[in-house]
């Protein structure tokens, strides 16, 4: 297995980076949140730990704190690099698109999700059902917009598989994101929102919400074409609620440590690798199921290469 070569957008114009991308057998586009970028300093993320059976180059467009809702809005409005790398007429045709999104949608919804003033022994009773429904439907709509954009009629990446991971179970604790384990940057994220809930229910409540997000993502495999969800729940060892700093598989309350990503990355990369190997065995021009405006469900896959894209980059100053 070989480590993937990670490129950031500012590197793509360099000659060495272009050469690496051109020579790589797998060309992967990644978009997401801090699990693909960083949730602490020094930088640590899942992509850094990924290995594939073939040489792979990943263009990483992830942004800490990004949400599925924001990603889908920007891509619809052609308002970020991701939209151009996916849908522009001169964009490369990627072998795979990796996405990490949904966790921050959950974090942002917590003030509306968690309700106090009740007395119950069930963690789920402390969740506002209308707010939870809104969160789940928001995730469904966001990913549906992204897939629709990928598959628009002139997109060079029509039908390219999108791989999405679920989030592992996070323990509400006192562990914030820190700069080199010293200065607090932000967080914690979960525990401050759970003060109206009995403390002994915090873990169960967090697990319940993670499960609801995961099940929402998994349901999209049935409704969205070429959309693969990789379930990573239960991969990492949990920490004690009184934890206040890096501990085992967790860098802080909601971000895995390097050791944690070393467990998560193989779980994700192995599914991607296996899927792409099977796809490579299909002859060029094999049918791929996609929705069409005229209700047709088949089209011939465009088997373009990266050559034109790389030539255009060479001509830029």
Alpha carbons 11 and 250: distance in angstroms, whole number: 30
Alpha carbons 75 and 84: distance in angstroms, whole number: 8
245 in Cβ contact with 188 (< 8 Å): no
Number of H helices, E strands in the chain: 8, 12
- Residue 288 main-chain phi, psi, to 5 deg: -130, 135
> How far is C-alpha 177 from the chain's CA centre?
20
The reply to whether the predicted model has a pTM over 0.85 is: yes
Alpha carbons 238 and 247: distance in angstroms, whole number: 9
279 in Cβ contact with 161 (< 8 Å): yes
**For the domain that residue 183 is a member of, what is the CATH number?**
3.40.50.1110
Q: What integer pLDDT is reported at residue 284 of this predicted model?
A: 54
Q: What integer pLDDT is reported at residue 241 of this predicted model?
A: 86
Domain that holds residue 34: 2-315
Residue-level pLDDT, tens digit, the chain, 317 residues = 899 999 998 888 888 888 888 899 999 999 999 999 987 677 899 999 999 999 999 999 999 999 999 999 999 999 999 999 999 999 999 999 999 999 999 999 999 999 999 999 999 999 999 999 999 999 999 999 999 999 999 999 999 999 999 999 999 999 888 876 767 888 899 999 999 999 999 999 999 999 999 999 999 999 999 999 999 999 999 998 888 888 889 999 999 999 999 999 999 999 999 999 988 776 554 444 444 333 333 322 333 334 443 443 333 43
Alpha carbons 171 and 238: distance in angstroms, whole number: 7
Q: Domain tally for the chain? A: 1
Q: What tens digit of pLDDT does each residue of 24-65 get?
A: 999 999 999 999 998 767 789 999 999 999 999 999 999 999
């Amino acid at each position: 297995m070989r480590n993937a070569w990670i490129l950031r957008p500012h590197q793509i114009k360099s000659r060495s980076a272009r050469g690496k991308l051109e020579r790589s057998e797998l060309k992967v586009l990644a978009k997401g949140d801090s699990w693909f970028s960083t949730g602490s300093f020094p930088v640590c993320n899942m992509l850094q730990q990924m290995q594939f059976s073939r040489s792979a180059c990943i263009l990483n467009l992830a942004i800490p704190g990004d949400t599925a809702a924001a990603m889908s809005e920007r891509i619809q409005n052609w308002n970020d690099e991701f939209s151009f790398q996916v849908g522009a007429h001169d964009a490369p045709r990627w072998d795979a698109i990796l996405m990490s999104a949904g966790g921050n949608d959950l974090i942002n919804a917590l003030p509306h999700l968690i309700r106090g003033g009740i007395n119950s022994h069930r963690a789920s009773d402390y969740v506002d059902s209308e707010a939870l429904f809104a969160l789940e439907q928001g995730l469904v709509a966001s990913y549906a917009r992204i897939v629709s954009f990928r598959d628009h009629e002139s997109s060079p990446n029509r039908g390219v598989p999108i791989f999405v991971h679920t989030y592992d179970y996070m323990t509400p604790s006192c562990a914030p994101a820190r700069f080199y384990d010293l200065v607090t940057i932000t967080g914690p994220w979960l525990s401050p929102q759970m003060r109206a809930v009995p403390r002994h229910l915090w873990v169960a409540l967090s697990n319940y919400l993670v499960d609801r997000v995961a099940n929402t993502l998994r349901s999209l495999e049935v409704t969205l074409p070429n959309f693969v969800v990789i379930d990573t729940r239960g991969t990492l060892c949990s920490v004690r609620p009184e934890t206040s700093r890096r501990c085992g598989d967790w860098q802080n309350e909601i971000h895995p440590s390097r050791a944690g990503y070393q467990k998560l990355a193989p779980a994700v990369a192995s599914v991607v690798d296996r899927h792409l190997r099977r796809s490579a065995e299909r002859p060029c021009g094999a049918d791929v199921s996609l929705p069409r405006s005229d209700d047709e469900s088949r089209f011939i896959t465009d088997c373009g290469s990266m050559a034109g894209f790389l030539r255009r980059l060479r001509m830029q100053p």
